[in-house]
Amino acid sequence: MTRVLLLGGTTEAGRMARALADAGVDAVYSYAGRTEAPVAQPLPVRVGGFGGVAGLVAYLRAEGISHVIDATHPFAAQMSRNAVEGCAAAGVALIALEREPWQAGEGDRWTHVPDLAGAVAALGEAPRWVFLAIGRQNLSAFAGAPQHHYLLRLVDPPTDPLPLPRAEAVIARGPFDVAGDRALLKDHRIEVIVAKNAGGAGAEAKLVAARELGLPVVLIDRPLVPERRVARTLGEVMAWLDG
């Protein structure tokens, strides 16, 4: 009997949920609970961590899950690691619905860095106007470079004081559009953008706007995740489920 756990939180996971609902597949959509009011989904939703690998295994067994689709963000590496370990332990089939990394095109001025520390170093010492478009969870990595003026974009208003002295936050949930991001970059006199190489369409607008404005981008490589079966399209996932 097919029963699917969809690890979500991305644009692709929303599309996957729609495909599963339309096909009448018995599935549950899982959010980590990072935001105050996550977007509704056409599937039953659960919110919050499972409690590590052991908690995930217990959930898979208690809920009779037969298949897990990991459609989390490429930077949600801990969840992806837990999914590989938990599904192996519980004997549950796993596939990752993963988007391609962004590739630089004509006119892009990208500097690839391996991690957050690399991004801080790439900004250099001289104070700059920086669009730090990495969300909320990793801002403290930039506390060592307080000389820059940071524009932040957060999903929810910050509850704690920001760890950066010269930071201004705009509150917005993507997906974003090029016109809006171009205006944001110009209005805030942005000189450089720092972003994660998330891939996908939901966060790409700032890169297109940067190209149009001739602005440099510091792009953080994805963290490594363990080997697992990977699908690039919804169709591949649906075929795997039918297999």
Interface ranges with ligand 3Y8 (CB under 6 A): 9-11, 14, 31-35, 38-39, 73, 133-138, 153-156, 173-176, 196, 198, 200, 202-203, 206
Q: Name the minimum Å distance from CB 1 to ligand 3Y8.
A: 26
176 binds, among ligand NAP, ligand 3Y8, none (CB under 5 to 8 A by kind): ligand 3Y8
50 binds, among ligand NAP, ligand 3Y8, none (CB under 5 to 8 A by kind): ligand NAP
CB 149 within 8 A of CB 128: yes
38 binds, among ligand NAP, ligand 3Y8, none (CB under 5 to 8 A by kind): ligand 3Y8
Interacting residue with ligand NAP among 14, 17, 31, 148 (CB under 6 A): 31
235 binds, among ligand 3Y8, ligand NAP, none (CB under 5 to 8 A by kind): none
Contact partners, residue 187, CB within 8 Å, separation at least 6: none
- Strands 93-97 and 109-113, bridge-based pairing: unpaired
- String marking each residue 39-58 x if it binds ligand NAP according to CB under 6 A: ----------xxxx--xx--
Mind giving me the DSSP string for 139-161? Answer: GGGGTT-TTSEEEEEESS--SSP
User: What is the C-alpha radius of gyration for the chain, rounded to an integer number of angstroms?
Assistant: 19
Q: Is the dihedral of CA 33, 36, 39, 41 positive or negative?
A: positive
Mutual orientation of helices 11-22 and 234-242 as an angle, nearest 10°? 40
d(CA 120, CA 127): 12
- The residue among 50 and 150 lying less far from ligand NAP, judged by its C-beta, is 50
- The residue among 19 and 154 lying less far from ligand 3Y8, judged by its C-beta, is 154
